[in-house]
Amino acid sequence: MTLVIREISTAKNIVMLASPNAEVLDVIGPLDVFSIANSIVEKSGKRPPYCLHILADQAGAFVTSSGLRLVADSSWRDWGGEIDTLLISGCKDPSVFFTNSPLVGWIRNMSGTVKRMVSICTGAFALAEAGLLDGRRATTHWFFAEQLANSYAKVSVDADAIYVRDGDTYTSAGITTGMDLALSLVEEDLGREISLLTARVLVMYFKRPGGQSQFSTQLRAQHVKNGQLGKLLEWIAENSHYPMTVEMLADKAAMSQRNFARVFAAETGRTPARYLEEIRIEKAIGLLEETKMPMKSIAQKAGFSCIEQFRRTFKRHLGIPPQAYRERFPLN
């Protein structure tokens, strides 16, 4: 099979800035995506499209938050080359960016020449501290989203997205979502086919849309398992393919509809209707990824009244129709 590869005349410098006390997967995860893409292109007889570099406070070995050591090619202070894409890793304590004026100043200065500014996880705090997220949408790890929003009023924080692109600035959520974002950059550079092969080599989904939630509705349910509605949420997940109404659910919870709606929102952060819709979407996603079942059957098994309702709801949640989503997850 002949690969369709977008030609790149000169290899792009992909530079990872390892934050102080960096999360190790924030650093190596995205870089491995670019590295695998390099290997695929090289095996097709073409020159690798990327040159990968790691910068840190000092050249040489540095310690990550897990205690593992990585090796920086150079200090960011000494870097003199061009940068196509600057990725900034996250760290366990983003307050390190509040007091590191030289590093933040360097990031701000580099933004004038770098084609793409990218943050992984809490690396978004570095971009925000440099003023590069002012007036932009951005995301970060859900645990730090409120802190980011409170610390930087000019940033529109999307606490649920796995990654966000706003112009030439990209931000990703926690840890592994940096790999999702890197995969989207590979597709942007080299085309869908190379990105798909890269995802397959890494045994990754190709590719989670940036607007997909950082954590599933059923994971939310686990956090409230011991709440008033814990058992009801389990029942909803097991029976979401049946017709349900708020009145029916309130009766099952032995509450008035008004009190039920209040307690439900307090425990899940969702209205009952929204929660049920998300459960059904997640069930449909699983069927799209793991089966060759016809769309009409998926709609029925997921609990939608008809295929049109399924298509409209799916597109509203994920930004693409279910058929397009399935094409991103081809079964072998």
332 residues of the chain, pLDDT tens digit each: 566 677 777 899 999 999 989 999 999 999 999 999 999 999 988 999 999 999 999 999 999 999 999 999 999 999 999 999 999 999 999 999 999 999 999 999 999 999 999 999 999 999 999 999 999 999 999 899 999 999 999 999 998 888 999 999 999 998 789 998 999 999 899 988 888 888 888 876 544 554 555 445 555 555 555 568 888 988 998 899 999 999 999 999 999 999 999 999 888 888 999 999 989 998 898 888 778 999 999 999 999 999 999 999 998 887 789 998 887 666 55
pLDDT for 4 equals 67
Where does 217-327 sit in CATH, by number? 1.10.10.60
Q: Which two tokens stand for residue 260?
A: 């039920």
pLDDT for 130 equals 98
Listed in sequence order, the residues at least 6 apart from 102 whose beta carbon sits closer than 8 Å to its beta carbon are: 77
How deeply is 241 buried, as exposed, middle or buried, from its count of CB atoms within 10 A (0-12, 13-18, 19+)? middle
- The sign one gets for the Cα dihedral 70, 71, 75, 76 is negative
pLDDT for 222 equals 52
Fold of 12-201: Rossmann fold (3.40.50)
pLDDT for 329 equals 60
Distance CA 6, CA 313 (A): 34
Length of the chain: 332
pLDDT for 324 equals 86
DSSP state of 78: G
Distance CA 216, CA 212 (A): 9
Please answer whether residues 189 and 161 qualify as being in contact, where contact means their C-beta atoms are separated by less than 8 angstroms: no
Q: Give the residue from 10, 23, 17 showing the smallest Cα distance to 100.
A: 17
Q: Give the residue from 283, 312, 48, 25 showing the smallest Cα distance to 186.
A: 48
pLDDT for 229 equals 87
Please answer whether residues 141 and 122 qualify as being in contact, where contact means their C-beta atoms are separated by less than 8 angstroms: yes
pLDDT for 215 equals 46
pLDDT for 131 equals 98
Distance CA 281, CA 123 (A): 30
Residue ranges of domains in the chain: 12-201, 217-327
